[in-house]
Amino acid sequence: MWLKSFAVANTITGAALASPALFQKQSGLGAFIEKESALAQQGILNNIGADGTLVQGAASGIVVASPSKSNPNYFYTWTRDAGLTMMAEIERLAAGTNSSLESLIQEYVDSQVKQQVVSNPSGTLSNGSGLGEPKFEVNITAFTGSWGRPQRDGPALRASALIAYGNYLIAHDKKSLAKTNLWPLIRNDLSYVGQYWNESTFDLWEEVNGSSFFTAAVQHKSLVEGAAFAAALGVACTGCSVAPQILCHLQEYWNGTAIISNTPTNGRSGIDANSVISSIHTFDPAAACDDVTFQPCSARALSNHKVYVDSFRLLYAVNQGRHAGQAVAVGRYPEDVYQGGNPWYLTSLAAAEQLFDALYQWDQQGGINITQLSAPFFSDLVPNATVGAYAKSSREYTTLAQAVRAYADGFIAVVQQYTPGDGGLAEQFSRSTGDPVSAIDLTWSYAAFLTAVARRSGSVPDTWGSSSATSVPGQCSAATVPGSYATPTIGSW
């Protein structure tokens, strides 16, 4: 199986891993992570109603994107940001980090019962259309201004968060609560995915109307895990049957070396954090390094990681002096101009998280396989790395894994370097000075920090069953399933 044939005379050594300066920078990393983790968790709590100290007026359980009310005004709740944030919190609950989180999660569930029924410019619940509305007022009324809508990732992300909590309930002998309090919400969201996945959507950055890799990837995951969750509850998920069709279309974003995140590309390269964020949110700890679902350790996802990161090396002044194989500050996409078009905390953290995910997968699988496609990624880190299969017991594996870990830590160290003394994480940091830019205390930045450092310490979410969902239909179809939507009610806990 795993060959130990790393037959290079001048073989790779620890000394080739990184410059002394990088190691120096990382020396305070552990202390930073410990301190920032507490601040990040508090930063999230501060932004959730009704008790969040920075978001007065937000309803109970409502996750506000940021307390910033002007330039930019993020004092709204986005279904995407909220779903991703609560996913991180549910993971903490399941990891036993903090059992007092459960009431907060239940408040989120109850808030979504109210939010799902709000008629809005995207539509209503009766035919599901209203579920694609990207954002709401913090008191759970419709936002009626013009916006890039619908954004069809929201229902999938919310379903995945609720399924994670549902699986936690099932594991704690509370299956009936999962069925009464969660399934009606999840059924609406999965119905939406099954019915509307093939219609155009604004991407996660709310800019491009068309098809988005992230949207499709998280939709696929939600239907696969939704089918298993429904089976566990003894109920039917009709929309879930289209999962293979979404997987089929997902393959179309691959250009041979990277993921082209949007169709149309709107004149851009298509190289976009969209892809890396997809990989971390569809990470399955039980998966092989599967290219078809773009698992973090897959050759495709590693090649894409390199192409994505490299696109920012020469772009930002803050990256000056960092050579290939060293972590740099990364943003949404190289052509970005929003708020100055700077590096983002959450994208730099995602670059780290994908690598920690990959390390976990290699460890589980007992080896690292370098292919033609992933070789350029590895040879930036370990100059002599060559195509081959390296068993976990080999010296080469140890060298490669250490190099990847040092590289991943480098992205956290970049975040450390540009985090102000009070630990606040804004949306962006200046490409020229590194100073915080745009919305302050961005909830998603804090959530991204928590999941990245959880992966670094080997803490991972449950499997979503990706290994049962890797068979790509020979021909893609646009099959959809009409959803069944019903008004959910607030259950008692």
Stretch that binds ligand NOJ, among 75-83, 260-268, 299-307, 397-405 (CB under 6 A): 75-83
Stretch that binds ligand NOJ, among 20-28, 201-209, 350-358, 385-393 (CB under 6 A): 201-209
Would you count residue 214 as binding ligand NOJ (CB under 6 A)?
A: no
Stretch that binds ligand NOJ, among 26-34, 200-208, 220-228, 379-387 (CB under 6 A): 200-208
Residues 6+ apart with CB under 8 A from 347: 273, 276, 277, 330, 331, 332
Stretch that binds ligand NOJ, among 24-32, 77-85, 123-131, 369-377 (CB under 6 A): 77-85
Q: Which is nearer to ligand NOJ, 48 or 182 (CB)?
A: 48
Would you count residue 153 as binding ligand NOJ (CB under 6 A)?
A: no
Out of 137, 206, 291, 335, pick the active-site residue. Answer: 206
| Shortest Å distance, C-beta 57 to ligand NOJ | 18
Report which DSSP code applies to 180. Answer: I
Would you count residue 149 as binding ligand NOJ (CB under 6 A)?
A: no
Would you count residue 197 as binding ligand NOJ (CB under 6 A)?
A: no
Strands 367-370 and 388-391 turn out to be antiparallel
Which amino acid would we find at residue 363? D
Would you count residue 206 as binding ligand NOJ (CB under 6 A)?
A: yes
Show contacts with ligand NOJ in window 333-372 (CB under 6 A): 338
Reduced to 3 states, what is the DSSP secondary structure of residue 164?
Answer: helix
Would you count residue 205 as binding ligand NOJ (CB under 6 A)?
A: yes
| Shortest Å distance, C-beta 338 to ligand NOJ | 4
Residue nearest to ligand NOJ (CB): 338
Residue 97, CB-side half-sphere exposure with 13 Å CA sphere: 18
CA dist 223 and 190 (Å) reads 7
Q: Which is nearer to ligand NOJ, 451 or 459 (CB)?
A: 451
User: Is 89 noted as a catalytic residue in this protein?
Assistant: no
Out of 89, 203, 284, 441, pick the active-site residue. Answer: 203
CB 104 within 8 A of CB 61: yes
User: Is 189 noted as a catalytic residue in this protein?
Assistant: no
Torsion of CA 115, 223, 80, 477, to 10 degrees: -110
Stretch that binds ligand NOJ, among 52-60, 78-86, 404-412, 449-457 (CB under 6 A): 78-86
Report the alpha-carbon angle 229-233-234, nearest 5. Answer: 115
Q: What is the largest CA-CA distance in the chain?
A: 68
Would you count residue 74 as binding ligand NOJ (CB under 6 A)?
A: yes
Would you count residue 81 as binding ligand NOJ (CB under 6 A)?
A: yes
Would you count residue 168 as binding ligand NOJ (CB under 6 A)?
A: no
Cis ω on the peptide bond leading into residue 121 (within 30° of 0)? Answer: no
Which amino acid would we find at residue 308? Y
Backbone φ, ψ for residue 259 (5° rounding): -90, 125
Reduced to 3 states, what is the DSSP secondary structure of residue 217?
Answer: helix
* Long-range interactions of 20-28: CB distance < 8 A, separation 24+: 22/326, 22/327, 22/406, 22/410, 22/413, 23/406, 25/410, 25/413, 25/417, 26/406, 26/409, 26/410, 26/413, 28/416
| Shortest Å distance, C-beta 427 to ligand NOJ | 7
Give the one residue of 444, 449, 464, 485 binding ligand NOJ; rule: CB under 6 A. 444
Would you count residue 291 as binding ligand NOJ (CB under 6 A)?
A: no
The residues of the shown chain that bind ligand NOJ, judged by CB under 6 A, are: 65, 72, 74, 78, 80-81, 204-207, 338, 444
Which residues are the active-site residues?
203, 206
